[in-house]
Amino acid sequence: MVSTLSICLQSRQGRKVISLASTASTKDLYESASKEFGVPVESLKGGFPPRRIPSEDSTPLSIFVSNQERVQVEFALTSKKGPKKNNGDKNKSCSQSKSVNNDKNNAGSSSGTRRSKRAASKAATESMPAIIKAQDEYLKNTAPSGKKRARSNQSSDAVSGVFPSGNTTQQRLNKIKPAKLSASAGAGRRLADGATVANPSEAGRQAAMRRRRREVGSGEKSTDMSTALIGTLHDKGQMGIILRKGMKNAVLSSYETTRSFSRLAVIQARSYQMTNFTGDGNSSGGVGGDLLKVIYQGSVDKSKMEETVDCIPRDVLQAVLEGIHASNKEALRPENLSRLSPRVLWSCVKCFPTLSSVPDMYRELLPDLDWSFLRRRAEQLSEKALENKRQAMDEEEDVDLERASNVIAAVEHAMEHLQDYHAEERKAKQAQAAEARLRRLQQQQQIGKNKEANDASWVLTTPSEPDRDELRECIETSVPVIGTTTRAIITKWISQLMKEHKIHNWRELANVSEEKINMIVSKLEVPEPNLRSWIDNAQNESVSEIMVEICDSNIKAVEILTEHARSGTPRDLAGWKFIPDLLVEQLREICSEQEYGWMELGTISTWCDRAHCVLQDNEWLNWYATPVE
């Protein structure tokens, strides 16, 4: 089966779409194109980039052109200019016939072409006076001034006669200058659309030019910043105050930068004068009133500069540099230190007058520190790196590492001595917690409510009953008891905690916030690490009591959760919040359901929810996990 090719022929005369068989040759394509356009085709181009399709041979058309492809058609020159030549011949014959008739009337034995040119020149010469007269009339009506009008009248009189024939006529025509049209000749037409456009008057154009010069010279634009800055010199508005303050700060910053580089230059060249004297003791930051008066020459304006700074002793200077080295090393670069703290710089120079390099002074003062960063280029962190660094610093501030280490040490101590605790003592403490819980339930009048109401209104309540033995046990674990004096001091601390700070037992001591720690330290006059140790002991003792309250005073349930499910703390129990069914399944595999009626999905789920709420209200409980035996 032979397929058909649809080809689009594109030329200056338009487009034609033809259909040829795929087995047709390029010669058939040329013939079809000539037939469609009615003129001979010179060449055909197809493909991309376009290439010429041969017409001499019978090459298959499918090699050069595919289906629905565009082919460019170029016609032969004879086809384009043929008709024009015919018209030209016709006109030429007409003109020749006319010239023959004219030559018969005027004489001449010359050829037809020569006679036709002479006749045309003669006709043009005869019509010239009428054309010139019409031009003069037009210029006379449109002349703007009397002087130009008089000049046009003279030119009109000079050419208004009958032109004589011969060379004299040609000379007169050459002497006539073409009239120049005035800029205010009247309305004109726009080339783009042909619309009539009125020509502005001379006065209007001059006024527009003056207005443009005034706008450019004055700079009255919204984007002209120089005008706004100059206007702020006398502007009493808020914007003027802000801009003046910004410019002042920029000038001062540039001035300080220049002076800082001048200090380093004179230190390196040792071209300064330093005098040590004793002040009146009112200088800020001075140690013993010692001051340094330094005189040196500026490196930019070459003016004499004088500075008076505090003289820092060597031991204090070592402590200052060590602190800066630990917190911000980049501040110790000479160019930064010269601008941030001139008194530290000049104090270093006072201690080592023979050295001309600031890094060498650092090494002499603190030889044990690493000063290799001074030889490296300053690090320029990207915006993302700065944001990551800021977040890391915030996390470090939020986490109390010292307290975390104390808690971890306490947990490890409990894990090591877990077997030393007697079961009877632990049961006694849990029984006390259960009794306290029952008393609070009686006080709150919740005994008669059903289980759903209790779960909805359940809130962990901190007991407020005074218990000196609990506070004494927390304090004595961190303070060794030696003699009666120590016991008296502990008793005094317990009394102050109860009366002044409303801390009556270890449950209230465990909930002491970070803001309250500083106040208690100042009142009791005890070291802060000791107070934190008391709080850690109280929290360690309160975890078991809180678990008993979460489990509805079921001591046996707490024991089973601790021993068999490793969920003896609120943190571990809250981990089963979304999968309580797995915890119930694990407990039922170990214990029989008949003995323990609390092993139900609803009860376990309620306890997990309570543990999660307790963790939200008491963040310190997140540090305690069930010890692994």
3-state secondary structure at position 293: strand
- Residue 162: the pLDDT is 41
437 and 469 belong to one structural domain: no
Question: Does residue 172 lie in a domain region?
Answer: no
Can you give the pLDDT at residue 132? Answer: 81
Mean pLDDT of 271-299: 73
Boundaries of domain holding 609: 552-628
List the CATH number of the domain containing 33. Answer: 3.10.20.90
Residue 330 lies in a domain: yes
Q: Are residues 295 and 369 in the same domain?
A: yes
Q: Assess whether 468 and 441 both reside in one domain.
A: no
Task: Let me know the angle formed at the C-alpha of 499 by 498 and 504, rounded to the nearest 5 degrees.
Answer: 20
Is 228 inside any structural domain? no
Phi-psi region of 163 (alpha: psi -120 to 50; beta: other; left: phi over 0): beta
Task: Please tell me the predicted confidence (pLDDT) of residue 483.
Answer: 59
286 compared with 464, residue with greater pLDDT:
464
CA 382 to chain centre: 11
Q: Residue range 271-291: average pLDDT? A: 67
Residues 507 and 600 reside in one and the same domain: no
Q: Which residue has the higher pLDDT, 576 or 147?
A: 576
Which residue would you say has higher pLDDT here, 205 or 396?
A: 205
Q: What is the pLDDT of residues 75-87, one digit of tens each?
A: 876 544 444 444 4
590 and 517 within one domain: no
Cβ atoms of 353 and 345 within 8 Å: the answer is: no
List C-alpha distances in Å: 512 to 71, 411, 437, 497, 610. 92, 20, 21, 11, 22
The DSSP secondary-structure symbol of 481 reads -
* 306 and 416 housed in the same domain: no
Rg value, the chain, Cα: 55
Q: Which of 285, 282, 338, 331 is nearest to 311 (CA)?
A: 285
Report the pLDDT value the prediction gives residue 294, as an integer from 0 to 100.
92
Q: How confident is the model at residue 415 (pLDDT cuts 50, 70, 90)?
A: very low
Kindly report, residue by residue over 329-338, the tens digit of the pLDDT. Answer: 888 889 888 8
Q: Which amino acid is at 620?
A: W
Q: What is the pLDDT of residues 7-33, one digit of tens each?
A: 888 888 888 888 888 788 888 888 888
For residue 92, pLDDT over 80 is answered with: no
Query: What is the tens place of the pLDDT at every residue in 369-378?
Result: 888 888 876 6
Last residue of a domain, one of 17, 47, 75: 75
Task: Supply φ then ψ for residue 357, to 5 degrees.
Answer: -120, 130
Q: In this predicted structure, what is the pLDDT of residue 520?
A: 84
Q: How many domains does the structure of the chain reveal?
A: 5
Share of the chain above pLDDT 90, in %: 3
Reply yes or no on whether the pLDDT at 619 is more than 60.
yes
Please report the pLDDT score of residue 111 as a whole number.
46
Cβ–Cβ under 8 Å, residues 541 and 470: yes
pLDDT at 339: 87
**344 and 264 fall within a common domain:** yes
Q: Determine contact, residues 600/584, Cβ cutoff 8 Å.
A: yes
3-state class of 87 per DSSP?
helix
pLDDT on residue 131 = 78
Residue 161, token pair as written in the block: 């006669």
pLDDT, mean of residues 160-164: 43
Pick from 169-173, 199-203, 269-273, 529-533: least confident: 169-173
Query: 428 or 364, which is more confident?
Result: 364
Res 405: pLDDT: 52
- Give the per-residue pLDDT at 215: 57
Q: Is the pLDDT of residue 477 over 80?
A: no
Is 196 within a domain?
no
The pLDDT of residue 346 = 92
Residues 421 and 500 in one domain: no
User: Among 30-34, 460-464, 603-607, 608-612, which stretch is predicted with the lowest mean pLDDT?
Assistant: 460-464
**Any idea which of 192-201, 203-212, 404-413, 611-620 has the lowest mean pLDDT?**
404-413
Which of 415, 445, 475 is at the close of a domain?
A: 445
| Model pLDDT, residue 628 | 67
Q: In angstroms, rounded to a whole number, what is the distance separating the alpha carbons of residues 62 and 5?
A: 8
Q: Answer yes or no: do 511 and 584 share one domain.
A: no
> Is the residue at 143 inside a domain?
no
Instruction: Check if the beta carbon of residue 474 is closer than 8 Å to that of residue 493.
Output: no
Do 433 and 516 lie in one domain? The reply is no
Q: Are residues 440 and 492 in the same domain?
A: no
Contact assessment for residue 121 and residue 127, using Cβ atoms and an 8 Å cutoff: no
In a domain, 618, yes or no: yes
Q: Is residue 537 part of a domain?
A: no
What is the per-residue pLDDT across 53-83, written as a single tens digit (0 to 9) for each?
887 767 787 788 888 888 888 887 654 444 4
Q: Which comes out higher in pLDDT, residue 261 or 394?
A: 261
Q: Is residue 178 part of a domain?
A: no
Say what percent of the chain tops pLDDT 70: 65
Considering the chain, what is the average pLDDT of its residues? Answer: 73
* pLDDT band with cut points at 50, 70 and 90 for residue 159: very low
Flag whether pLDDT at 627 surpasses 60. Answer: yes
Q: Is the same domain home to 614 and 521?
A: no
How far is residue 397 CA from its own chain's centroid? 27
Instruction: Enter the tokens of residue 290.
Output: 């010692």
**Which candidate, 48, 20, 21, places its Cα nearest to that of 35?**
20
pLDDT digits (tens, 9 = 90+) for 488-528: 888 888 888 888 888 888 888 888 887 788 888 888 878 88
In this model, does residue 182 exceed pLDDT 70?
no
End of a domain among 75, 99, 131?
75
Residue 306 pLDDT more than 50? yes
